[in-house]
Amino acid sequence: MESILHNITSDKGMFTIFIIFGVGGVIAIIGIIFGSIKGTAETKEREKSRREIAAYIAEGSMSAADGERLMKAGNPKTASELAIEQQAQHA
């Protein structure tokens, strides 16, 4: 292990490359972690909203059609999903 560290630190070019890739790797890992946290938080809030809408429907203060419309409004569709939906409507 000491010989590896000595070889890396003795050559400035190798040390620079090691630092660049090391920092890049740390930034990538941090990005992956925060992306996962963001996705989890978004899913949690979406499910909370769905439960609240279901509760409004159950107590009768909202119609089922209104609840369905609200649930669909919060789910952005991809271009391919929209194209498939449009083809199905025109068929």
Q: Quick: pLDDT tens for 40-59.
A: 998 899 899 999 999 999 99
Q: Look at 9 and 84; give whichever has higher pLDDT.
A: 84
Q: Tokens 């159950």 sit at which residue?
A: 58
**Whether the Cβ atoms of residue 33 and residue 20 lie closer than 8 Å to each other:** no
pLDDT band at 91 (very low <50, low <70, confident <90, very high): low
Q: Which residue has the higher pLDDT, 61 or 8?
A: 61
Provide φ and ψ at 61, rounded to 5°.
Answer: -85, 0
Q: Estimate the share of the chain in helix, then strand, then coil, as percent rounded to the nearest 5.
A: 85, 0, 15
Q: By the 8 A CB rule, do 70 and 53 touch?
A: yes
* Residue 32 confidence (pLDDT): 97
Cβ 54 vs Cβ 66: under 8 Å: no
Confidence of residue 14 (pLDDT cuts 50, 70, 90): confident
pLDDT tens across 17-38, in order?
Answer: 888 999 999 999 999 999 999 9
The confidence score (pLDDT) of residue 82 equals 75
Identity at 43, one-letter amino acid code: T
CA 8 from chain center: how many Å? 37
